[in-house]
Structure 1
Amino acid sequence: MRLLIASDAWHPQVNGVVRSLEHMASAGRSLGFDPVFLTHQDFPSLPLPGYREIRLAYATRRKLAARVAAIAPTHVHIATEGTVGYAARRYCLAHERPFTTSYHTRFPEYLAARAPVPQSWSYAWLRRFHGAGSGTMVSTSSLERELSGRGFTNLMRWTRGVDTDLFRPQDSDALAGLPRPIFLFVGRLAVEKNVAAFLGLDLPGTKVVVGDGPDRQRLEALAPQARFLGTRTGADLARIYAAADAFVFPSLTDTFGIVLLEALACGLPVAAYPVTGPLDVLSETGAGVLGADLRQAALSALAIPRERCREEALRYTWAESARQFYTNVELAHQRGALRKRAAKRPAAGMVELG
């Protein structure tokens, strides 16, 4: 079976959506699927103003149809609601093809942080976007409840994983020489990540920020005493996690937060607000501290045993994540096919002519 995955989030972006999709692709063949990506790289594109890392693709109907024909998919998954995702959705509806979607990003909150657009308008558009599919994948139970309360239907659970061989406790001198304790943030430097809340905390030791984005210059000016290391990945990133003393996750809008699992896998305790994502990953685990007072949560996290954090991370595997993902794809495809046949079946009491 060949799965077309349409996504606006793709390289050179470094984020949880891209990492999740990469892991799903690598696991596809062992589960009977051949995943093929449709991204901004397949079309002419322009950088998003103020956020050049994100590309806006110009996917015309003709070019998209040609690309889909070349891929010849048996199943379709639309990962994002951007220009590529919207074009793929339009194609599927025009050709009566069932498809799944996934809800990765709190777009209404992100948009409201940048422009005076009511969240109710954005959620209405997203409800319509995802409602046209045969299933919408969400990462946590709290997000599922929230979206269900907003009128989203056909919600399916798709958890996330972590590479516990790469991200592991280890002796590391990656942050040698910095005053301790070392409080770490890893993620995109954009307004919706609420990094300024972390940088504004009155904490001892050193604040370290890993990542890049459109908000970096403002954040560096806001906290000149913090250490900004730029984007780090792979073993380099794992060594940084292992060398820190606590991970601070100030986001109020993430739907999951793969960095939470990466930190825990390296034995790094987490401090976060009690919101979707941290609540689902950390609540009652003893591997992190959740609280409205992020400073106190960060200080309290220092007392958590690192082995407890590692133990919690081992519960999350990319193998289980992939199993859920591809099971959802197949079940939703079957659901969509049944719905299509039912729509074409003559109504009771009517006779087909011809």
Structure 2
Amino acid sequence: MRILIATDAWHPQVNGVVRTLTSLARSAATLDADISFLTPEGFPSVGVPTYPGLRMALPNRREIARRIEQAAPEAIHIATEGPIGWAVRGYCRRNKLAFTTSYTTRFPEYVEVRTMIPAGVGYALLRHFHSAASMTMIATASLRQELAERGFRRLGSWGRGVDTELFNPDSPAKLDLPRPIFMTMGRVAVEKNLEAFLALDLPGTKVVVGDGPQRAQLAQKYPDAVFLGEKKGADLTAHLAAADVFVFPSLTDTFGVVQLEALACGTPVAAFPVTGPKDVIADHPIGALDNDLRRACLRALTMSRETCRHFALERSWENSARQFIGNLAALQPSRVPRPAPRAAARSAVQG
């Protein structure tokens, strides 16, 4: 099956959406599915208001149509609700093509934190966006129930996985820091609620891995914390494996793939009992959930690292990819034909 995924989030961004999509494509290849991406690459862009360093693509209708028709997909999936997502949605609607979507980011809450625009306005817009899809894929049962209560329809399941070969406990980084090490990783931005972690009175050392618009401000406000900047690949794995507890303070993530990545490195998780952590950790002895995050951190210290690793080994990206492809196959979205040879040749001459 030829699948085209449209996404506004793409390299060089380092976030859960990008890691999910790239891992999905690798695993799908082993299941006779060919995934290509329609991304912001090649489009002009502008800076995202209130988010220094992040840019937003400005796609045009003609180029969107050209890329879709060049890919000639048998299924179209829209992963994000940004300008790329809206443009591909518009193409599908104009051409009466079925498509699926996924709900991966709580944009209404993010926007409310940054602009004070009520989350209800954002949910109304997202409900409209996803209402045209044959299915909106959701990562967790609790989020699926929440969105259903907000009026979203045709909701399906698409679980996440973890690359247990990349993320492993074998070669932890040598961190010359007082133990225990409580570590968080991700965008250093207001929506990640990092101050809830950094303000805790904890023994040992608090470590932040990642970069973002709040880094300088938080580093100045919390001089006892260690900010290591962005890590990738084996270096990221080594740091996750070196932590005693991975702290996930976010209240707005829809899943939090990094929780599985930490567990695959043998590191237990401490988090608030909200969507994402509730679905990943639940009542498994691999972490602690508590409205008192300090209490969760200290309880997580008692968890078995071997149990964490074993839990992650049962959650492969191959199973996630199989579920994603199964959703598309069951819905049988419309196939986009390739441009006729003459039309393609004429277009090349005119270009």
Whether these two folds match at TM > 0.5 is: yes
Deviation per CA, 1:236-288, whole angstroms, max 9, x where unpaired?
11111111111111000111111101111111111100000100011110110
Partner of 1:239: 238
Q: What is the match of residue 30 of structure 2?
A: 30
Q: Which residue of 2 aligns with 1:326?
A: 325
Q: Report the alpha carbon displacement of residue 329 of structure 1 after superposing the two structures with TM.
A: 1.8
- Cα–Cα, structure 1 residues 53 and 77, in superposed 2: closer, same or farther, change >3 Å? farther
2:181 counterpart residue number: 182
- Measured in 1, the distance between the counterparts of 2:208 and 2:174 equals 13
Q: Classify 1:225/1:245 alpha carbon distance in 2 versus 1 (closer, same or farther; 3 Å).
A: same
Counterpart-to-counterpart distance in 1, 2:101 and 2:173: 42
2:4 is paired with a residue whose SS is strand
Which residue does the alignment assign to 2:276?
277
Aligned to 2:238, the other structure's residue is in SS state helix
Q: Is the 8 A contact 1:289 1:298 kept in 2?
A: yes
* Residues 59 and 118 of structure 1: CA distance in aligned 2, closer, same or farther (over 3 Å): same
* 2:151 aligned partner: 151
Contact 1:40 1:55 in 2 (8 A): no
Q: Which runs of 4+ in 1 moved over 4 A?
A: none
Alpha carbon RMSD of aligned pairs, Å?
1.4
SS in 1 for 2:73: coil
The question of whether the paired residues in 2 share the 8 Å contact of 1:13 and 1:53 is answered with no
- In the TM superposition, what is the alpha-carbon distance from 1:52 to its structure 2 partner? 4.2
Shift of the 173–61 alpha-carbon distance from structure 1 to 2, 3 Å rule, reads: closer
Report the 3-state secondary structure (helix = DSSP H, G, I; strand = E; otherwise coil) of the residue aligned with 1:37: strand
**SS of the residue 2:116 aligns to:** coil
**1:271–1:289 CA contact under 8 A, matched in 2:** yes
AA aligned to 1:170 is D
SS of 1:40's partner is coil
Secondary structure at the residue paired with 2:246? strand
Name the aligned partner's letter for residue 54 of structure 2. I
* Deviation of 1:54 (Å): 3.0
* Structure 2: gaps spanning 5 or more residues: 336-351
- The answer as to 2:44 corresponding to 1:65 is no
Pair 54,333 (structure 1): closer, same or farther in 2 beyond 3 Å: farther
Q: Which residue of 2 aligns with 1:345?
A: none
Deviations 1:205-240 (A, max 9, x none): 111100111111111112111111111111111111
Which residue of 2 is the match for residue 161 of structure 1?
161
Between the aligned partners of 1:162 and 1:272, the Cα distance in structure 2 is 19
Alignment of 1:62-101 (within 5 A): 62-101=62-101
**2:223 aligned with 1:224:** yes
1:28 Cα deviation (Å)?
2.7
Q: 1:265 and 1:71 mapped to 2: Cα distance?
A: 35
Tell me the residue number matched to 1:311: 310
- Cα deviation for residue 51 of structure 1 reads 2.4
The one-letter code matched in structure 1 to 2:187 is R
In structure 1, the partner of 2:255 is 256
The amino acid that maps onto 1:21 is: L
Q: Gaps spanning 5+ residues in structure 1: where? A: 338-354
2:8 alignment partner AA? D
Correspondence for 1:346:
none
Provide the rounded CA distance (Å) in 2 between the counterparts of 1:70 and 1:125: 30
Q: How many residues align?
A: 335
Which residue does 1:122 correspond to in 2?
122
- Deviation, 1:42, is 3.2
Query: 1:223 is aligned with what amino acid?
Result: Y
Q: Distance in 1 between matches of 2:140 and 2:289?
A: 17
Q: Give the Cα separation in 1 of the matches to 2:50 and 2:110.
A: 14
Say which SS state the counterpart of residue 90 (structure 1) adopts.
helix
SS state of the match for residue 93, structure 1?
helix
CA distance in 2, matches of 1:313, 1:28: 19
Q: Distance in 2 between matches of 1:266 and 1:185?
A: 14
Q: 1:174 to 1:237 in 2, by over 3 A?
A: farther
Are the aligned partners of 1:181 and 1:206 in contact in 2 as well (CA < 8 Å)? yes
Q: How far did residue 290 of structure 1 move?
A: 0.4
Give me the whole-angstrom Cα distance separating, in 2, the residues matched to 1:328 and 1:251.
29
- The sequence identity of aligned pairs, in percent, is 56
Q: Any conservation in 2 of the 1:269–1:309 contact (CA below 8 Å)?
A: yes
Task: State the Cα distance separating 1:24 from its structure 2 match.
Answer: 1.5
1:315 to partner: Cα distance: 2.0
Task: Say if 2:9 and 2:17, in contact at 8 Å, map to a contact too.
Answer: yes
Partner of 1:301: 300
Q: TM-score, normalised by structure 2?
A: 0.92
Contact in 1 for aligned 2:108/2:119 (Cα 8 Å): yes
Paired position in structure 1 for 2:266:
267
User: What's the counterpart of residue 203 of structure 2?
Assistant: 204
CA distance in 2, matches of 1:265, 1:102: 25
State how far apart, in whole Å, the 2-side matches of 1:98 and 1:174 are.
51
Letter aligned with residue 196 of structure 1: E
User: CA deviation digits over 1:92-115, x for unaligned, max 9?
Assistant: 001000000000000111010011
